[in-house]
Structure formats: structure tokens, C-alpha cells
Amino acid sequence: MALLVMKFGGSSVSDAAAMRRVAQRVVATQRAGNKVAVVVSAMGDTTDDLLDTAEEVSPGPKPAREMDMLLSAGERISMALLAMAIHELGVPAKSFTGAQAGMRTDAEHGRARLLDVQPGRVRATLDEGGVAIVAGFQGISTDDDITTLGRGGSDTTAVALAAALDADVCEIYTDVDGLYTADPRIVPSARRVTRITIEETLEMAAHGAKILHLRAVEYARRFTVPLHVRSSFSDKEGTWILVGRPLTEDTMEEPIISGIAHDSSLGKITAVGIPDRPGAAASVVGAVARAGVSIDMIVQNVSTSDAHTSDLSFTLPETDGATAVAAVRALQAEMGFADVLYTSHVGKLSLVGAGMRSNPSVASKLFAALADAGVNIEMISTSEIRISVICDQSDLEDAVRAVHTAFELDAEEAAVVYGGTGR
Ligand code: ASP
Ligand code: MG
């Protein structure tokens, strides 16, 4: 008998019919001889709708505690309805809020982090032969207030629950058949990846792939939770994400490239003509960090010999552009640099693959493919298993398709997208 955590995202429980389909799937899985705990997201666009209503009631900043009370309600609706739908099929089911499921968090409303997971009531329900359903994306703080984990946080709830229950697998049900070599909404010829390492998945999630919440992937790596990402709209096998597996001979058989992630929501700041002396980068980057903005890629050019100045460029979420520009401008007079430039609408393409470690030709092939597609590269950064380039946002989708083809990732048949927006 296996213990499974099955997590269903918003598009999988968007209305009553979808809810009944999920109930059938859960019941079939349990009847096949498994213990099943379920984690659900809010139905369809419920979280966005709640945010809109809050904005109508109180434009601008709102009490964070009350926002969490409000947003956590979305998942509570799903869990209760799903419990009823499962009951209807003759299987006992009990729903639990994050607090009831033992999800203890810090008190950072809107982006709480899990501190401790004690799912005693969930375990008791499974031991009694029932299905336990847990509301995703929420917990209870050390001050006993309701918290939420940040947008997309239900994946993290599912992985944390799977870790605490020592589940055999955490299944993430979504609206595509798994992880693809690129977003199938942009590259219809994208290929489903059958298995991928957790390190590659982390790189994909950190660089714009929307399918899994980054924190959930980090949690899965830390607690070695095997993940299976698959569609709730089909019975097809999805993508297995392998944890704790050393990269040995059998991984050498794997493709050099596992996928292409892209991010079209970035901006770029350049501080021009910074006097070349120790501490300059620390000052600029420090000021941006203190403004609460996280920086992505940083490039400093080599200082020109006579001027003794250099330019420092970095990318950041487009939505933080104004805040970060103000923080850098505030340093301009004191540090004596020439100008601060801001470009919105930059895009990032990231090529990810454990196999590129041992393959030196990947970078040149990537740059040649972009050149052939007429895409200008503005910045480059690499890790052991990733190469990222920054380009103009309007070139990004063409760039992704060109690189996908250049690395021979195209499949014969078009990928199926069952619903949702991929966000
Ligand atoms: N309902 C929340 C959101 O939309 C959490 C989730 O779906 O994972 O962000
Ligand atoms: Mg989600």
C-alpha cells in the first residue's frame, strides 16, 4: 500500500464538473489500494477575484492579516466541496484548513514560510480509511493568526505535507501533461520530459518556468520528496522529478538539454560610468536589496583603461523597476557615476540541462541559433547546468522557438494544453 499526496491546481477544480472529475480520480486511486491525502488550490480564478474585491473595498495598502483571512478562504471553499464530492462516491472524506493540518508558519503575512508541519489529524483520517483534503497555500502563524504562503503556494503545501507524512510520491496535477522542453503555449512542438533531476527543475522554476512553485521544488530537494507532475485531464504518465539521485552513468544517457525556460517580465538597470574602486558594486547592489528588490542577473564590464570607470547592469522584476531606479539614483551624486539607465520589457531565455556539464559546445550552439534568428544578446550568465541570455522582450518567443529547434527538441505532435493560462 502506497501513501500518495495528490495536489490539484485551480484549473483542475474550476467548477462543479471539474470537482466531480477530481473526486472520481481520488476515489479510484484510493480504491486501488492507496492511502490518499489531497491538497487543493482555490477554484479557477478565485484568488484573483478576491484580490479584486479587496481592492474595491480598500484601494491601496490593506491590513496584511485580513488579506490572509480573505485569500485563505478560496482554498477552504475547494476543500469542502471536494470532500462532499468524494462522500457522494461513498468514500469518507474530511477537509482540513492549513491550521488544522498542522501547517505552522512564521508571521510574515502574504509570504509566510513553513516552520513546522504536524499533520496528526490528516494521518488519523488516512488510518481510518478516509481521504484527507488539505487547503493549500495557508497555515497558522506562531501568533495563531492565519497566514498564506504567497501566490502559487499550494505546491509548497503539497510537498511539505508529503514530506511530513513520508509519502511515497507527491503528485502535482495540472492542465498540461507534465514538464515540457519549453512552454507548450509558445512552442507547440515542445516535448514532454519523462524524467528530470531536481537540480534541473530548480533551474527551470527559478528562471521562469511556471509549472511548479520554486519554493516547492526547493522543499522537495531538501526533504527528498519524489514529484510526479501530470495532467488531471488525462491518465497519461507525466514527468518524474528525481531527487537524491547521484549523477552517475545512467544519467549520462540523458539528453544534454532538458528544457528551455523563459521569463518575459524583467527590466534592466545600468549604472553608467561608476568610478572603478573596491566597494562600488556592493554599494549599488546593497541599495537595491535594501529597497526590497531582488536582483537577478548582474554584469559589470571591464573598466576602460584611461577613464577608470565601469558600467554595472542588472536585471530585476519589471514591477520593481521604479523602486530600484530610485534607489540607484539616490547614490549617483555621492558615488559620482554618470547616469542611470532603465529598460523595461527585457526577456530572458534559459537553456537547462545536466548533460551540458560535460559538453562544451552548448554555449556556441545557443549563440549561433540566436544569431541566425536575428536576436541580439544583451547579457549572458551561466551556472553549471544552465546558460541564460537577456534579449529584447519582443524577440523572446521567437528566440525560444529557434533555440528549441536548434537543439533538436521539437516533437512530431503538438503538445496538448487542456486549460489555464500557464500562470
Ligand atoms: N490560490 C493561490 C494562488 O492562486 C495558491 C495556489 O493556487 O497555489 O496563488
Ligand atoms: Mg498554481
Summarize pLDDT for 296-311 with one digit per residue, the tens: 899 988 766 677 888 9
| 181 within 8 A of 190, measured Cβ to Cβ | yes
C-alpha closest to that of 111 among 80, 139, 148 = 148
| pLDDT for residue 250 | 55
Sequence-ordered list of residues with C-beta below 8 angstroms from that of 122, at least 6 positions apart, any chain: 37, 96, 101, 102, 132, 134, 161, 165
- Residue 176's pLDDT band (cuts 50, 70, 90): confident
- Between the CA of 43 and the centroid of ligand 1 the distance, in Å, is 9
Helical axes 154-165 vs 214-222, angle rounded to 10°: 10
- Between the CA of 299 and the centroid of ligand 2 the distance, in Å, is 32
| 226 within 8 A of 240, measured Cβ to Cβ | yes
Judged against a pLDDT cut of 60, whether residue 247 lies above it is answered with: no
Residue 300: strand pairing partners: 312
Residue 271 CA: distances (Å) to CA of 36, 96, 209: 54, 51, 29
Classify domain 3-249 by CATH number. 3.40.1160.10
Q: Does domain 259-406 have CATH number 3.30.360.10?
A: no
Q: Which of 18-22, 109-113, 206-210, 399-403 has the lowest mean pLDDT?
A: 206-210
Judged against a pLDDT cut of 90, whether residue 167 lies above it is answered with: yes
Per domain, the residue ranges of the chain are 3-249, 259-406
| pLDDT for residue 301 | 82
309-317, strands of its sheet edge to edge: 298-300, 309-317, 259-275, 339-352, 386-392, 379-383
- Between the CA of 74 and the centroid of ligand 1 the distance, in Å, is 9
Judged against a pLDDT cut of 60, whether residue 107 lies above it is answered with: yes
- Report the residue among 13, 40, 46, 47 best suited for mutation to probe ligand 1: largest number of ligand atoms under 8 A from its CB: 47
- Between the CA of 311 and the centroid of ligand 2 the distance, in Å, is 38
| 267 within 8 A of 317, measured Cβ to Cβ | yes
In the structure, which protein residues have their CB atom closer than 6 angstroms to any atom of ligand 1? 9-10, 41-42, 47, 74, 136-137, 151-154
Q: Whose CA is nearest to atom 5 of ligand 1?
A: 152
Residue 388: strand pairing partners: 350, 381
Summarize pLDDT for 276-335 with one digit per residue, the tens: 888 989 999 999 999 999 998 999 887 666 778 889 999 999 999 999 999 999 999 999
- Residue 421's pLDDT band (cuts 50, 70, 90): low
The number of the ligand 1 atom at minimal distance from the alpha carbon of 137 is 5
- Between the CA of 215 and the centroid of ligand 2 the distance, in Å, is 12
Buried/exposed code over 266-295 (b: 16+ C-beta within 10 A; e: otherwise): bbbbbbebbeeeeebeebbeebbeeeebeb
Judged against a pLDDT cut of 90, whether residue 15 lies above it is answered with: yes
| pLDDT for residue 82 | 98
| pLDDT for residue 415 | 77
- CA 173 remoteness from chain centre: 14
The number of the ligand 1 atom at minimal distance from the alpha carbon of 152 is 8
- Report the residue among 11, 13, 41, 215 best suited for mutation to probe ligand 1: largest number of ligand atoms under 8 A from its CB: 41
User: Who has greater pLDDT, 189 or 248?
Assistant: 189
Cα 28 to Cα 10: distance, rounded to the nearest angstrom: 21
The number of the ligand 1 atom at minimal distance from the alpha carbon of 46 is 1
Judged against a pLDDT cut of 80, whether residue 423 lies above it is answered with: no
**Helix ranges restricted to H, 226-336:** 249-252, 280-290, 321-335
The two beta strands, 138-141 and 103-105, are parallel
